[in-house]
Structure 1
């Protein structure tokens, strides 16, 4: 009678291992079922957007590229006037894009009476208007909208945010499934190409996944702060807690700035009447750390007070160390300001200047040194995520990771098709005995608390799984 008991005792660990792996497999399957189609979209659009600096000048060469005449260029104010003259009545200039490359045209953005915006390109040598581009409908804007929200507005942004969160589950379960029981060199770091059928695809998927896991994790963690729901709330929290941009507008922390108006009443208005935030401005790119910060007001001025010229703002920005490839949000109201936004490849050079439109005084000067530690990390992550930090090499690495993840989606789909029964979902059967897996359950709980939307969907998946597939268990 002892032998059967010993055999049962010996078999118990093996049964627990199988149950453990099958549970992980089910979570990996459900995560992949949701994530993989969206991962294809993210990978393809991310790769295209990564090469935006090279693609747009080729795609819109007739508007963006000019012949360098080696002669003097017209002033920015003259070029802006030329652009404004070509626009319909009621168009409001909102942005000037500043570049020193003599082979590039001058770009100005106008808000049209219809509510949409368009860029006007002007030859900086003779003032000829070269053409226009819709800000909302240009190719790279559409690619970015697909990448961030499937061009479905807030709903799409939530879906893509969930895709990023569930990718964390897919990465964790994928590593766990790859790790146990692999003693030999074959199929661990290199796929066994001698295999055939589904085993060949499994090796390709597992080995490729382990090589890409770190890159996928980085993409998710560096992308989520930019998401429409969780990212927006996290940015607001980081800003208020001085983990992003230090709280306050003037004189707090390391922000170098002065109050904008001379009188106490105007100071009161400027410091308490600010409603617009940096993310509301019509800038092409805004550093993450300053997105939730408020934009100050210019001092009230009489009707005869002249606005500082755009050329003076460009000169002032150059004196502050901002010389090339930046945007200037133009004031559109009597109390508006010039906002210089510099978003370079090196995060340490990021700079945001708010300038009084009448006096030319710098009201706020926010640099990388003003950021909290979290915002500094996110700035580096963003630059690497977008393929900017190491130049072309960074673009190649980022696109290789993106396309590798797209390949994983394809191999995962092929494996599913090869094992899925006809007219069935093909989800791995639940084990007859539920393993404790306290660390795994605790990790999911923490993840659900950090990302509440994901926590709600995890609970929904768990309930649906129990209701729809509760009776289907694998044999012990």
Structure 2
């Protein structure tokens, strides 16, 4: 009879040790699949993202003879003259699309042209004497190639979808990784946050991998989340949805606004060339381009889905006022408080407008301005305060994600997170290689008794609903796990 309490105590002790590991192998199995997929891509993302983060410092070093000039006491030439010099350096059929406005005394003036074969080329002009310093293929600039590798692996739409999947599966990897480590280190905060350097071999790499993951998990989660709105599939749909429910771009832009760009006619009264005040705008009925489709290097996320206005004929008269010049637009923007670091998309047709995009490091200073090319009237001046709640949040997330918001410190934080994710991928690969039985995938064994894990199942379903492409791959992995990898690896250890 004396053995009963001892037996009960032993049962309770065994149960207490078993509970924390309930579902452990299931989590490990999903962590394994997620990591196996994202590991090589995380290294690519880390390297390209870190390089792009330091674009302001790197580009002048790569192209010093084009981007950098010697400051002089002589006044700068006006933008019309500089554009004319740049145009003279291009083939006759080249079309000027964009002017990049910078007032720094040590920077050249840059103009972007579209060539007949569809390529884009930047022309750099000395702002003091008008000398053409050289040209660069826009799509072959080092930073543009780096950016396209980061976004789509230079594989077009398929690469864009692949990188979106990588971001989503990184969320699964981070979530399961924290869950795997956290319950097993509740006894010591030091063991949770610091690696055990007394270990050797795979246990040492496991300790380093786990504690590194704990340190960067929250920042890495934010890193991934702030990058997703810029993806080509889900991000584009998310932007369109936010715009349609008035939480992205300014509420009502352009719907119902009494503004439009006008071509001044010969006989149109005293209001010729001024925005129409007497009738609602018909912008919503127009098939105009969106801001994301404009020939601009970058535009604020919140206005990406906003359609750009066009001019309207006011009479059948063939005589129209001449459009105002680029120098006039620069002077107008200076008077409106914008002097440096913005881009101007030039009107491509007689019905086009000047589109000014200002994408600074501080989201609250972002501006998008549309200017009538005939009257010079500002049709719309969209600022941060006009954004919806989602647009404001994404703007801050973007600035932080790109390492722009608080200068060098932000760049260092982004670098630490990027390299931390790369280190997780490398250490995880080492652990898998050391543990993997020869000739097999080496997936962790399944639970002998399936755990309910309702919370995790709900989270995965929610992830699949929010990210439909991710949902399809989740279902595919579950299906393959049941049919292709159904045999548990007996050699897998915790």
Paired residues for 1:109-120 under 5 Å: 109-120=112-123
Distance in 1 of aligned mates of 2:26 and 2:313:
66
- Kept in 2, the 8 Å contact 1:266–1:299? The answer is no
Distance in 2 of aligned mates of 1:115 and 1:265:
41
Distance in 2 of aligned mates of 1:135 and 1:144:
12
- Kept in 1, the 8 Å contact 2:260–2:276? The answer is no
The worse-fitting range, judged by mean Cα deviation, of 264-273 and 106-115 is 264-273
Which of 247, 261, 284 is the matching residue for 1:243?
A: 247
Specify the alignment match of 1:233 in structure 2.
Answer: 237
1:375-399: per-residue Cα shift (whole Å, max 9, x none)? Answer: 1011000001000000111111111
Question: Per-residue deviation at 1:195?
Answer: 1.1
- Kept in 2, the 8 Å contact 1:122–1:128? The answer is yes
1:169-195: per-residue Cα shift (whole Å, max 9, x none)? Answer: 111111101111211244311111111
Question: Per-residue deviation at 1:267?
Answer: 6.8
Distance in 2 of aligned mates of 1:449 and 1:251:
31
Q: Secondary structure at the match of 2:253?
A: coil
Paired residues for 1:13-92 under 5 Å: 14-15=17-18, 17-92=20-95
Distance in 2 of aligned mates of 1:238 and 1:390:
27
The number of residues matched between the two structures is: 473
With structure 1 as the length reference, what TM-score do the two structures score? 0.94
Distance in 2 of aligned mates of 1:411 and 1:158:
26
Paired residues for 1:444-459 under 5 Å: 444-459=460-475
Cα distance change on mapping 1:25 and 1:321 into 2, 3 Å: same
Unaligned runs of 5+ in 1: none
Paired residues for 1:335-354 under 5 Å: 335-354=351-370
Distance in 2 of aligned mates of 1:363 and 1:264:
11
Q: Secondary structure at the match of 2:457?
A: helix
Specify the alignment match of 2:296 in structure 1.
Answer: 283
The worse-fitting range, judged by mean Cα deviation, of 429-438 and 225-234 is 429-438
Q: Secondary structure at the match of 2:60?
A: helix
Paired residues for 1:246-285 under 5 Å: 246-250=250-254, 258-261=259-262, 270-285=283-298
The root-mean-square deviation of aligned C-alpha atoms, in Å, is 2.3
Q: Secondary structure at the match of 2:124?
A: strand
Specify the alignment match of 2:342 in structure 1.
Answer: 326
1:329-379: per-residue Cα shift (whole Å, max 9, x none)? Answer: 000111101001000000000000011111111111100000001110110
1:96 equivalent in alignment to 2:109: no
Unaligned runs of 5+ in 2: 263-274
Distance in 2 of aligned mates of 1:143 and 1:376:
27
Distance in 2 of aligned mates of 1:322 and 1:245:
21
Paired residues for 1:343-422 under 5 Å: 343-422=359-438
With structure 2 as the length reference, what TM-score do the two structures score? 0.91
Question: Per-residue deviation at 1:14?
Answer: 4.6
- Kept in 1, the 8 Å contact 2:260–2:311? The answer is no
Distance in 1 of aligned mates of 2:247 and 2:309:
21
Question: Per-residue deviation at 1:298?
Answer: 2.5
Specify the alignment match of 2:215 in structure 1.
Answer: 211
Question: Per-residue deviation at 1:272?
Answer: 2.0
- Kept in 1, the 8 Å contact 2:370–2:378? The answer is yes
1:175 equivalent in alignment to 2:175: no
Distance in 2 of aligned mates of 1:209 and 1:15:
24
1:401-446: per-residue Cα shift (whole Å, max 9, x none)? Answer: 1111111111111111111111111110111211000111011111
